[in-house]
Each structure stands twice: as C-alpha cells, then as structure tokens.
Amino acid sequence: MSIGIMSKQKNGKRKKRGSFKDNLQLLSMALPTILLLAVFNYAPMFGLVLAFKDYKVTDGIFGSPWAGFKNFEFFLKSQDAWRITRNTLGLNFLFIIVGIICGVIFALIMFEVKRARQVKVYQTISILPSFLSWVAVGYIVYALLDPTKGILNQIIEFFGGKGISWYSEPQYWPVILLISKTWQGVGLGSIIYYAALMGVDQELFEAAEIDGANKLQRTWYISLPQLVPIIIIMGLLDVGKIFRADFGLFYNVTRNVGALYPTTDVIDTYVFRALMNQGNIGMSSAVGLFQSVVCFITLMVTNSIVNKISPDNALF
Amino acid sequence: MKKRKIVSALLAGTLALSMFSGCGNSSNESTNATKANTESKDKNEGTQGNTEKDSSGETVTVKWCVPVDKPKDYDAVMADLNEKLKEKINVQLDLDCIPQGEYADRMRLMSTGQEDYDLCFTSNWLNSFDENMSRQGFLAMDDLLEEYGQGIVDSMPEWLMDVSAVDGKHYAVPNQQVIARQLGVVIQKEYADKYGFDLTSLKDASDLEPFLDQIVANEPSMYPIDLRVQPWQEKDYESVVTNSVYLKKDGDDFTPVGYVDAMEEYFRKANEWYKKGYIRQDIATVTDNSADVKANRYVVSMSSYKPGWDAEMTERQGVEWISVPIEGVYVGATSGIETMTAINVNSKNPEAAMKLLNLIYTDEEIFNELLFGLEDVNYKKTGETSAEVIGENYNLAPQAWRFGNQFLAWTLPGQSDDVWEQTDKMNREAEVSRLRGFTFDSAPVQAELAQISAVVAEYKNREFTSDDVDAFINELRQKMEDAGQQKVLDEFTKQVEEWKSTK
C-alpha cells in the first residue's frame, strides 16, 4: 500500500500514460486477485436475481417467473429467526473480539522473543491448526468430549467428578466453540500484527528505554498505539462478515447435534438444514442476499462511526 | 486515470470470465464425449468395423445417472453391452455411476444447472421427485410411453404407474420391485440360533424384546438393533407428506393427523428401547453408521421387508442373515415413489432414453448383463434364471432395484427361484390405500415445509436420549405448531376435497 502511495506522489506531475506504465508491474501482480474476484465474486452476482424468482429448469435463471418477496418469507417468518440471528451475531462478535485480543497478545509476546529461530518455531506451531479442516477439528473435539470415552470426562471422573454429557448441554458450547475457533485462528491472525510491530521505528523503543520505561510500559505506550490502525482495519473487515457464520465450524464441531441448536444454530446451518431436503435455490439465494445486505449495512455503519471518531483509521 | 483503470479492470474481468466459462463448458462436453466415444469406439472399430456405417440413423448416447459405486471391470462390460444395445435399438449407454452419498447433490447441480443428462434415478428419499417437479426438471413422458414404452406399462399393475402422475401426466417410471410396504427384520443367524429366536412372523415390533434383552445381557460388544424405520407409527398411519401429513390406515375418512400425533407412540417406545439398552447409547452423536453396518456390528436391523432379503444381505455382508416379516402388507398413496427412473426435461434424446428404458424393462439378456457383467468372467450361470458372481468383481446384482424391472433379474444364491413371483404376488395382494392416485402439490406451503424440516432435524434422535419423553413430545408439538403444521394439514384437506370431487 505504501509503495502505491509513494509512486502516486512521484508521478503526480508526469503524463498520465507514464503512471500506468510505471505501475504495470504492480498491476500485473494484482491481476490474479482481480481475476479471482471477477470470476467468483462479480460474475455470480447476476445470480442474485434468483432470490426473486420461482426457478424452473426449462426457463433458466432469467426466464423463470417472478416470485416477488415470497422466497424471503420462509426465513423472516421462521420461529427460529431470532434465535439464529442472535447466535450468529453474538458468537461472531465474540470471535472477533477474542480473536483480536489473543492475536495482539500473541504478536506482542512474539515481538519480545528476540531469537529469530525460536520465533519461527513458535509461529509455525501456532499456525499449524489453521491448516486443519473443520472436519478434522470436529473429530479432535469429539475425542475430547465424547461422553463415555472422551478424554475430558475421563479426567473429570479420575478426580472423582461426574462426567458431563457435553453433546446434550448447550450452555457449554459458546465457550467450546470460542476455544476451538481461537485455537485454530490465533496463529494466522497474529502474523499481521507481528508484521506491523516489525515496522515500528526502533528509535521509539530505544528512546523510551533511555527514559526509563520498563517492558510493560513500552508495550502499553508504544507498541499498542502503533497497532491501533491495523487492529481497526482487521476489526472492520471482520465486522463486514459478521452475518456470515463459519459453516464448517458450526456444523462439524457440534456434529450437528440437535440438542445443541439453542446456542449453536446459526444462519448458515439453519438454511442448510431447512433447505437441504427441498433444494429450493430461490429460497437459498434469498437468504444469501439477505446476509449480504445486512453485512453491507453493518460494515457501512461501523466504518462511518470510525470515521467520526478518528478519520485516519477508517477503511474508506 | 481512475476511470481508465476501472474500465481496464472491467475489461480484463469480462475477458477472463468468458475465457473461464468457455473452458468450463467445452472441457465438460469433450470429456463426456470422449469418454463415451472411447468406450464404444475401442470395441466397435475392432470388432464391427463396417457395420457402423450400415446402421441407419445416428447412434445416440443416453446418459443414465444412478446412485451406485462404479463397479470393477466397468469398461469391459459397458463396451460389450453397448455393442448389443447398438444392434438392438441403435443406442449407446453411458452409465454414470455416482456414489450414493454424493448423488443428491450432484443431481441437484446437474438439474438446476440445466446440464445434459437423459435418465436418472429419482425417489422420495434421494434426488427427490417432488423437488425436481417443483422446478419442472422432468419430462412428461406419456407420448413416449405410448410409442416406445408399452413393455414398461404392461409389466406393472395399473395402480403403480399412477404414482408419478401429476395433473394427469406421468413424469417417471416406477422401478418394478417390491412396492407393497411390509416391515421386517434381518437377524444375524449366528445369534438367532444361539438364543433360540422364534422365526415365525412377528405380530408387532415389540415381540423382539425378549431376544434383544438377551443380546443386551450377553453380547456387550454388539449393538442390539439398527432401527431404520418407525414401526409404531407405520403400524397405524401412512405418511402422505414427509414429516407433516399422516393418515390413519384403517377408516374411511380423509382427516389427516400431524407429525407428532402420528409419531407419539413411536417416540415413547423408542425412548423405552433406548433406556433398556437396545439402541446404541451414542446415537445422538453418530452421524453415519454405515461402517458399523458393514462390519456386522448390529445383530438386528429393522427396515422394510421383501422376499429374498436374507439372501441379499448374506451376499452383501459376508455372514449369514435371516429375514422375518412383521405382519401387515400395505400399499400407500405414494408407494412406488421410493424407486423410479425419470427423463431429464433437457434431454436431447428422450426417444432413445425411452427405448433404452423399455429394453431394460423387457429384455432379460440386456438387463442381466447390466447387473452381472460378462458370463464366465464376472458370473457363472447356476440355472435357467439364476447366477453366481465370481469373486470380488463386476456386480450390480444387489443393486437391481435401482435400475428398472427387478423381476427380470436372475436370482442370487440363496434366493428361491420364485422370489419375483412371490414379490409380485405381495404387491398385487396388498391392501391399497384409499388415497391412491392423489398427489400433494407442495408449492403453496414451501415455506412451512422448510421450517418443519428444520424442526424435525433439530429434534432428530432426541426421542431416544430425552430423559422426560412427555416433555420432549410437548416441546416438539409446540415447535411444529409454530412452524406451520396446521397450515400444511389444512392445505392437504383442501386438495383432497378437490381431488375427491374430480374422481
């Protein structure tokens, strides 16, 4: 990003054509991403029209008869609409906050480790879970929590406690999901903060040290304020996705057990369950569109709030 | 400058897009075509040579999607089969074997994506017929049946074809197999002998209890029963609309009852059985028990009964099984919908598809080659109408019910020669539902049905594990009401009234 700004400043007075040529290298590097976005994010947008259609194979996507807002009824009128909206927003909010806090703390700790080799080892280990699919994580959690053979219950019983049948007690699951999600994501999440810390001017720290600041003070008064812009950007990006749940997490880690739905059922799992038998793509598209619109609104609102408080840190 | 960038990005985007979509289509088509071509060409060119030119008209390939695992020796058998098909009806078969677990999703994509396939397996439990009808995915086949499909119509009882009729037109052909529904159990013979289980037919599923008690007491490593049906619901009610509308079997009115009312007795029994240990205790978290089934870890499995079931199980499972029916044979309003074959509305060659289907229903040689493969390579004849599969080889015989007219299939070792006559007799003598001929149009209550299916999934298996079954039933009843149970029942009553007045 900073390179782009620099080149813009340099080229300000040159001819227009030149600036394009100068940026050609950078543009070509961005090309794969642009293509990917075009193919997977922009092209399918035409399909949104399906949300308002009564789809018939013979007529195709654009030829099918219009259905108005009928496809939206199923979701909005559902008795579970409140429950799944609450779960989706609440759990995602929890994930965002805890994810950021843990990521920042982890990055700060890493930053204090001065030996490059050790940093590499710690980071590799912490990133490893990100490469596991949720299906595998689901089985790991199951091995821990299985009511009869699970490790956790065996430990509880070893100390004389009574085993908990985890898969029928919904109240524990926000915490279990939070731990799984954080465990899986913290390594990757901290990298960006770590990179930002590396970019902080060393002179600041040296000056603080000479002034007699201890480690904690240096972290609190130098490292953290330097991280604030990036924290806000990451937070904003996550808020933009707050109405979309991580289907893999909520479906596999809970093993899709009905008894846990009161605290683990989110929009994506509900839609999957309700529409899997019917395969009604009109209704599925309607829910997808609804999620996108809500995400768009939440993103705009948070961004404008950030804009009011500290305009430098806003996304746009 | 900014504008220019946007324009160029857009251009690049569209270019890439057209490139991608172009690639996608052509590569798909070419792989399909080459696949079919190489299969047929290899053989044709070698052996037939000139005849290819002589045959009148173009040979078309019919793509048939079925939910089976691709068998060994597939290429060799298909090449030989296609040679015969070409001779008989000038049609080539491209049998697309899709594992059952993927089948529903694959078919949904193919159908909604307007892809080109010709025949497919459809039912009420896999690649749903109703779902396909709601997006008009199947072709009305009455004219084709009349012209090319008389063999199909002649092979089945009159009431059977009705099941795929919507507004007087037929959209699928029911597979000819066991249609009448009778519950039954299969038991591993070893254990039945060991504990002296009485093999005469059961009056009620509860009669199994003494036997199951013995299994619980003496065989701790086994799961006593795999309960795949709801016997105490089926005893009294037939299911008209999945999870939402049920009708009492005896009686003459058409007053429907809802899900919870029909299931209540089953819920109580299931809860009792779970507490007694008949049902595996981790059922709430078991998402797929097929590995345990394969490993013969269940002593008993309850499902729908058919003559020759024991032989089929023994053949598939590798240990000896015996089957016992539970009394009461019934043909429901939509019996037969469980296994059907339909023609894609986007099929390029519906005539060829119907010709092929007709041949499958009438030609013993073709049908059995499809099931058993090549003689002396894949199977040995053991009698006029019986055969034995050689080793681990091409073998679709246990899957015959997914294909067409099972009554033409050669019998397997252990099956009596008259198994198909028995089955046909069972079909024709069963009590037929008074609702036969009625099909429910689910379009007006799609939203309610979606919610109901979400509720049923939420409470799945909790009838077993719930500590207080009364509380469970009340909670579920409330949830179903909120999901729109009554609205679906009202819609059903309305449609039945209309149906009665036109009858």
Whether B167 and B266 map to the same domain: the answer is no
Of A164-178, B17-31, B206-220, B251-265, the one with minimum mean pLDDT is: B17-31
Q: Which of the 8 DSSP states describes residue B93?
A: E
Cβ-based contacts of B465 with chain A (< 8 Å):
168, 259
Mutate to test the interface with A, among B6, B106, B130, B135 (most CBs of A within 10 A): B135
The whole-angstrom separation of Cα B283 and Cα B287 is 8
Is residue B462 situated within a structural domain? Answer: yes
C-alpha–C-alpha distance, residues B280 and B289, integer Å:
11
pLDDT(A3) > 90? no
Whether residues B143 and B208 fall in one domain: no
Which residues in chain A have their CB less than 8 angstroms from residue B451's CB? 74, 78-80, 274
Tens digits of residue pLDDT in B163-195: 888 888 999 999 988 889 899 999 999 999 999
Cβ–Cβ gap A277/B128 under 8 Å: yes
Per-residue pLDDT of A238-265, as tens digits, reads 888 898 899 999 999 998 888 889 899 9
Query: Given this model, what pLDDT does residue B355 score?
Result: 94
Q: What is the pLDDT of residue A135?
A: 93
pLDDT at position A277: 65
User: What is the CATH classification number for the domain harbouring B105?
Assistant: 3.40.190.10
Angular region, B369: left φ>0, alpha ψ -120 to 50, beta rest: alpha
Is residue B189 domain-resident? yes
Outline where B182-258 has alpha helix (H). Answer: 189-194, 209-218, 231-234
Q: Which residues of A touch B454 (CB under 8 A)?
A: 78, 80, 270, 273-274
**Which domains does chain A possess?**
1-41 (no CATH), 80-277 (1.10.3720.10)
Residues B69 and B147 in one domain: yes
Is the CB of A142 less than 8 angstroms away from the CB of B285?
yes
| Residues B163 and B293 both lie in one domain | no
Per-residue b or e along B96-125, where b marks 16 or more CB atoms closer than 10 Å to that residue's CB: bbbeeeebbebbbebbbeebebbbbbbbbe
Q: Does B315 fall in a domain?
A: yes
**CB distance B346–A57 less than 8 Å?**
yes
B378 domain-assigned: no
Same domain, B68 and B139: yes
DSSP H stretches of helix in B205-283 = 209-218, 231-234, 259-276
Q: In the A/B pair of chains, how many CB contacts fall below 8 A?
A: 120
Contacts of B211 (CB under 8 A, 6+ apart): B192, B195, B197, B300
In a domain, B374, yes or no: no
Which whole number is the average pLDDT over B110-118?
A: 90
- At residue A16, the pLDDT reads 57
- What is the model's pLDDT at position B383? 87
Q: Are residues B225 and B359 in the same domain?
A: no
Considering only residues A296 and A5, tell me which one the structure prediction assigns the higher pLDDT. A296
Q: Which of B138, B343, B451 would best serve as a mutation to test chain A binding (most A beta carbons within 10 A)?
A: B451
User: Are A254 and A134 within 8 A, CB to CB?
Assistant: no
Give residue A17's pLDDT band: very low, low, confident or very high (50, 70, 90): low
In chain B, residues with a C-beta closer than 8 Å to the C-beta of A279 are 108, 112, 128, 131
Tell me which chain A residue has its CA closest to the CA of residue B461: A258
The predicted model gives A134-151 an average pLDDT of 90
The shortest C-alpha distance from A300 to chain B (Å) reads 22
Measured CA to CA, the distance from residue A102 to residue A97 in angstroms comes to 9
CA distance linking residue A300 with residue A297, whole number of Å: 5
pTM metric for this prediction: 0.76
Q: Do the Cβ atoms of B287 and A256 come within 8 Å?
A: yes
- CB–CB of B112 and A35 under 8 A? no
Instruction: Confirm if B206 and B270 have CB atoms less than 8 A apart.
Output: no
pLDDT tens profile B405-463 = 999 999 888 788 888 998 998 898 888 899 888 888 888 888 898 899 889 988 988 89
User: CA angle, corner B418, sides to B416 and B419, nearest 5?
Assistant: 70
Please work out, in degrees rounded to the nearest 5, the angle formed at the alpha carbon of residue B409 by the alpha carbons of B358 and B228. Answer: 105
Residue A259 buriedness (CB in 10 A; 0-12 / 13-18 / 19+): buried
Q: Identify all chain B residues contacting A73, using CB atoms and an 8 Å cutoff.
A: 447
Contact A20 B482 (CB under 8 A): no
Q: Is residue B50 pLDDT above 60, yes or no?
A: no
A264 → chain B, closest CA residue: B458
Is residue B488 less than 8 Å (CB to CB) from chain A? no
Whether B255 is in a domain gets the answer yes
Residues in chain A: 316
Average pLDDT, chain A: 87
- How far apart CA B442 and CA B133 sit, in angstroms, is 10
Which residues on chain B are in Cβ contact (under 8 Å) with A261?
458
Averaged pLDDT for residues B329-341: 90
Q: Which of B368, B390, B421 is the last residue of a domain?
A: B368
pLDDT of residue B399: 87
Mode of pairing for the β-strands spanning B169-170 and B330-331: unpaired
Q: Is A53 left (phi over 0), alpha (psi -120 to 50) or beta?
A: beta
Ranges of beta strands (E only) in A154-196 are none
Cβ-based contacts of B16 with chain A (< 8 Å) = 35, 38-39
CB contact under 8 A, A273 and B457: yes
The set of long-range contacts for A105-110, using a CB threshold of 8 Å and a minimum separation of 24, is A106/A186, A106/A187, A106/A189, A106/A190, A106/A193, A107/A190, A107/A191, A107/A193, A107/A194, A107/A196, A107/A197, A107/A227, A108/A193, A108/A197, A108/A219, A108/A223, A108/A224, A110/A190, A110/A194
Kindly state whether residues B194 and B151 are assigned to the same domain.
no
B134 touches chain A (CB under 8 A): yes
Alpha-carbon Rg of chain A, whole angstroms?
24
State whether B194 and B135 are in the same domain. no
Distance of residue A90 Cα from the nearest chain B Cα, in angstroms: 20
How close does chain B come to A187, measured CA to CA in Å?
30
Q: Are the C-beta atoms of B335 and B181 separated by less than 8 Å?
A: yes
Q: Residue B144 domain-assigned?
A: yes
Which among B346, B451, B458 has the least Cβ separation from residue A74?
B451
Check CB contact of B289 with chain A, cutoff 8 Å: no
Tell me the backbone φ, ψ of residue B339, rounded to 5 degrees: -145, 115
Q: Say yes or no: A168 contacts chain B, CB-CB below 8 A.
A: yes
B292 and B355 co-located in one domain: no
Q: Does residue B460 belong to the interface with chain A, where contact is any CB pair within 8 Å?
A: yes
**What is the model's pLDDT at position B389?**
87
Give yes or no for residue A105 having a pLDDT over 80. Answer: yes
Q: 3-class SS at B476? A: helix
Total domains in chain B come to: 2
Asked if residue B497 has pLDDT above 90, the reply is yes
For residues B73 and B107, state if they share a domain. yes
Q: Of B319, B316, B320, B323, nearest to B182 (Cα)? A: B323
Q: Which of A37, A38, A281 is the closest to B112 by Cβ?
A: A281
Residue-wise over A75-94: b if at least 16 C-beta within 10 A, else e? Answer: beebebeebbbebbbebbeb
Q: Which residue of B has its CA nearest to A281?
A: B112
Q: Would you say residue A8 has pLDDT above 70?
A: no
pLDDT at site B455: 92
Given pLDDT bands bounded at 50, 70 and 90, which one contains residue B47?
very low
- Average pLDDT (B223-243) is 91
Segments forming the whole domain that contains residue B148: 55-173+337-368
Q: What is the pLDDT of residue B278?
A: 95
Q: Would the pLDDT of B45 be above 70?
A: no
Query: Could you tell me if residue B316 is inside a domain?
Result: yes
Please enumerate, as own/partner, the contacts of B26-32 that have beta carbons within 8 Å and a separation of 24 or more.
Answer: B32/B63, B32/B94
Chain A residues near residue B137 by CB distance under 8 angstroms: 57
CB within 8 Å: B458 and A38: no
Whether residues B187 and B302 fall in one domain: yes
C-alpha B168/C-alpha B334 separation (Å) is: 15
**A 220-279: CB under 8 A from B:** 255-259, 261, 265, 270, 273-279
**B226 and B289, same structural domain?**
yes
Tell me, what's the ipTM? Answer: 0.72
Three-state SS for B81?
A: helix
Cα distance between residue B305 and residue B312, in whole Å: 12
Q: Which residues of B touch A78 (CB under 8 A)?
A: 451, 454, 483
Q: Which chain B residues have a beta carbon less than 8 Å from that of A167?
A: 284-285
User: What value does the mean pLDDT of chain B take?
Assistant: 85
Task: State residue B56's pLDDT score.
Answer: 54
Task: List chain B residues with CB under 8 Å of A16.
Answer: 1, 4
What would the mean pLDDT of A125-144 be, rounded to a whole number? 93
Q: What is the pLDDT of residue A164?
A: 87
- The model's pLDDT over B362-375, given as tens digits with 9 standing for 90+, comes to 999 999 999 999 99
Q: Has residue A144 got a pLDDT over 70? A: yes
Instruction: For chain B, say whether A35 makes contact (Cβ under 8 Å).
Output: yes
